Amino acid sequence: MSDNLLEISGLSVHYPGRANWFFQKAAPKKAVDDISFVVPKGKTVGLVGESGSGKTTTGRAIVKLAPLTAGKITYQGQDIGTLSNAAFLPWRKKIQMIFQDPYNSLNPRADILSILSEPLEIHFPGMTRADREARCAELLRSVQLPAEHLRRHPHEFSGGQRQRIGIARALAVQPELIICDEPVSALDVSVQAEVVNLLQDLQEQLGLTYLFIAHDLAVVEHVSDHILVMSKGKIVEQGTPSEILGNPQQAYTKTLLAAVPRF
């Protein structure tokens, strides 16, 4: 087995275009268009690009939240792109996701205990209620929140705390790969720094692998071992952070770099 946890080759996600007035078939919208990359085990691969560049769709396609048009997704040598939803279930345990908006990704009517218990009920049906509660308390502590908060509801937390809860939920099933979809772009700079540090600490402690999707090049540069730059559904450039920053080849990467305010 290779050192690559995830290998993507020729991945495409096309959505049907709107048929026009004369019932002619419209050209499909190519959200992701024939991209290939690998995510090595224990590393962080950063994926940058603007809104609409296809970076989120790429992340979602890996966990079957977006339909695959073509291409192969290989996880530890296993082709997982063609599996049915039911057959994919064991991989949902290995691949988890953290979303951008901590306000909309937690059920407002559920308390933290049930939010964190749900993935455990699905993936560890053998666990007793007491086991689950103990595990949830441990999860909260691992994201540096007090275990007493289990009975609280999402509205009682700040944005940064909610994002920690989102991270705890992803960690619940002991995943290997976490797809972080803009995990810090909705947060204040100081809170952003805390969450970024937390993600890096967890990676070290648990040997996690990240696919880190963001539009802020400075954050991506900070966390990533390898950076992919996406534009209009294609990967236009990739390399180590110092290669991308020190010697950007593509005009698009240069624009992206120029847009980052410097001081």
Partner 1 sequence: MSAEPLLKVQDLSVTFRTGDRATVAAQGVSYELAAGEVLAVVGESGSGKSVTALALTRLLPPEPTCSLTGSVKLAGVELLGLPEAKLAKVRGGSIAYIFQEPGTSLNPVYTIGFQVGEAIALHRPDIKDVRAEVVRALAEVHINDPQRVADQYPHELSGGMQQRAMIAMALACDPKILVADEPTTALDVTIQKEIMDLLARLRRERGMSIILITHNFGIVANFADKVQVMWKGRIVEQGPVAEIMRTQTHPYTKALIACIPRLGQRRRRLTTLSDELKVSR
Q: Which residues are at the interface with partner 1 (CB under 8 A)?
A: 50-52, 158-159, 188-194, 196-197, 200, 215-219, 221-222, 241, 245-246, 255-263
Give the residue with the Cβ less far from partner 1, 84 or 190: 190
Asked whether the CA dihedral 138, 140, 146, 150 is positive or negative, the reply is: negative
For the chain, helix, strand, coil in percent to 5 are 40, 25, 35
Minimum Å gap between C-beta 85 and partner 1 is: 30
Give the residue with the Cβ less far from partner 1, 89 or 254: 254
Minimum Å gap between C-beta 87 and partner 1 is: 37
Question: Exposed, middle or buried, 1 (CB in 10 Å: 0-12/13-18/19+)?
Answer: exposed
Minimum Å gap between C-beta 242 and partner 1 is: 8
Q: Report DSSP letters for 38-57, one per residue.
A: EEETT-EEEEE--TTSSHHH
Minimum Å gap between C-beta 240 and partner 1 is: 11
Give the residue with the Cβ less far from partner 1, 70 or 245: 245
Give the residue with the Cβ less far from partner 1, 20 or 128: 20
Minimum Å gap between C-beta 185 and partner 1 is: 9
- Contact of 46 with 214, CB cutoff 8 Å: yes
Which strands form 44-48's sheet, in the order they lie side by side?
Answer: 95-98, 177-181, 209-214, 44-48, 226-231, 234-239
Minimum Å gap between C-beta 52 and partner 1 is: 8
Instruction: Tell me how far apart the alpha carbons of residues 198 and 193 are, in angstroms, rounded to a whole number.
Output: 9
Going by C-alpha positions, the residue among 144, 186, 185, 167 that lies closest to residue 96 is 167
Minimum Å gap between C-beta 140 and partner 1 is: 18
Asked whether the CA dihedral 61, 185, 164, 193 is positive or negative, the reply is: positive
- Contact of 41 with 242, CB cutoff 8 Å: no
Give the residue with the Cβ less far from partner 1, 53 or 238: 53
Q: Give the H or E element holding residue 259.
A: helix 251-259
Tokens of 153: 């509801």
SS3 (DSSP) at 238: strand
